[in-house]
Structure 1
């Protein structure tokens, strides 16, 4: 009898863990999938943050054929406020930094497929070439300008990706506060339509619960940020209970189509 109870408890623990990692047993309306992209190439080049146009089109065709619904964060927010379940197979497509090819390549494709995406824009670098360091970026990569940001809003919703691409764990919390204030000043001055959600650069934030995380989240709230996104590679349970550590699934240009399908379904490639 005791052995049976023990085995039953072990089984329940395993099922709980599997659902926590993959949302395999979570009802369809309670799954929030958020995919993370960056740049789209037209010459077939692919790396961790750049996907070829051809491969991205294949992914869009798959989403369409499988009946996925793309939504903006503002639409997700509406469901969240009403505490309603999402339409089955809801997915949020997000693009970080605001590369010019999000205007020249992504925007026309979204119009063609009748889909939506969110662009997390580096708001202090509008219309400029990037000036931050990274293995997969260089200073010839250009960001969208103001007129492009205004034109894309029929299919792309703009959100925050800091003022100048600072890693929030590498600057002081006072500097984080100043960064957000500068971003909001750009939005007001340039009269941009920007949804108050933030993607942490490099996916970095204070993950460990404690004073720094509490202060960071308070600063986000004080500056009007409703939601903040990390990486994490998991599907979120919806409605959300925590607003400043929402997980996204990193879609890399080097992913195979099987990788994409697995990540879309489970939020990640591997259970462990």
Structure 2
């Protein structure tokens, strides 16, 4: 094989893999993060980790580009009142409710006057991420009640439900799934003394079906978020689809972030 050909082909393949050549997609961008910090050496889910340094760069970039970070309650009001997007709104969301969100993400957001939204697994508050296999993804601390209340009091963090125990709702008895959906709303509202307008389905592919989604909407949530990659057309056709999100991974840079927001994904394969 000609080494010169290889040297030119590899950068071309890298460029073509990025979505820069796709058309811009209109709609609401919702970023989704999980853990802010450095992954343990034996982590098999390193893509779920974003370093504090990279996260802060991303928050600064959003501010510099004129994006307005908004809360679940603000988005719920926009949906109810049928308000159009101005074009610069964006949601920053975190799944699960890790202690590192409190330790790293919240101070960064507050420093740059940006709003974040955290989906909490109620029964793991102050405990660990017990749904992971500790042999492949070490258990780490979850935020406790005091941390949640402190973040909420600051005005820079709002919360939504991510069930009671983080099950895959389509793989447990329907009655148990309904309980996970309803009880988490009830318990979080009791703890935080405010309405839970937002729900996120745990896991990606197969996380919900028509029956499960109806149970979520019937429970009184205004907004339901999936892990489906993409942006959501606005006004949101709530009866037909969930709110999609843009998964920000460990090694993605500011160009990747820009591509996510403009194209609905940073890579095409």
Question: What displacement does 1:242 show?
Answer: 2.3
* 1:247 lines up with 2:244 in the alignment: yes
CA contact under 8 A between 2:39 and 2:49: conserved in structure 1? Answer: no
Match of 2:69 in 1: 70
Question: What displacement does 1:97 show?
Answer: 0.5
Supply the distance in 2 between the matched residues of 1:118 and 1:89 (Cα, whole angstroms). 17
Question: What displacement does 1:229 show?
Answer: 1.1
* 1:39 lines up with 2:38 in the alignment: no
Q: Secondary structure at the match of 2:63?
A: helix
How much is the aligned-residue C-alpha RMSD, in angstroms?
A: 2.4
Match of 2:49 in 1: 50
Match of 1:82 in 2: 81
Match of 1:196 in 2: 197
Q: Secondary structure at the match of 1:249?
A: strand
Give deviations 1:54-81, integer Å, cap 9, x for gaps.
Answer: 1111111111111111001110111111
Aligned length: 241
Supply the distance in 2 between the matched residues of 1:186 and 1:224 (Cα, whole angstroms). 14
Match of 2:172 in 1: 171
State the 4+ residue runs in structure 1 displaced beyond 6 angstroms: 43-46
Supply the distance in 2 between the matched residues of 1:44 and 1:200 (Cα, whole angstroms). 26
Match of 2:137 in 1: 137
CA contact under 8 A between 2:231 and 2:245: conserved in structure 1? Answer: yes
For residues 191 and 54 of structure 1, do their structure 2 counterparts lie closer, same or farther at Cα, with a shift above 3 Å needed?
closer
1:1-272 to 2 correspondences below 5 Å: 24=24, 26=26, 31-41=27-37, 47-133=46-132, 137-139=137-139, 141-153=140-152, 154-193=155-194, 195-205=196-206, 213-242=209-238, 245-270=242-267
Give deviations 1:120-171, integer Å, cap 9, x for gaps.
Answer: 00011111111112587322x1111111111111111010111011011211
Question: What displacement does 1:241 show?
Answer: 0.5
TM-score normalized by structure 2? 0.81
CA contact under 8 A between 1:68 and 1:89: conserved in structure 2? Answer: yes
Supply the distance in 2 between the matched residues of 1:25 and 1:132 (Cα, whole angstroms). 35
Give deviations 1:157-208, integer Å, cap 9, x for gaps.
Answer: 010111011011211221111112331342254344352211111134466x
Bigger CA drift: 164-173 or 242-251?
Answer: 242-251
Q: Secondary structure at the match of 2:59?
A: helix
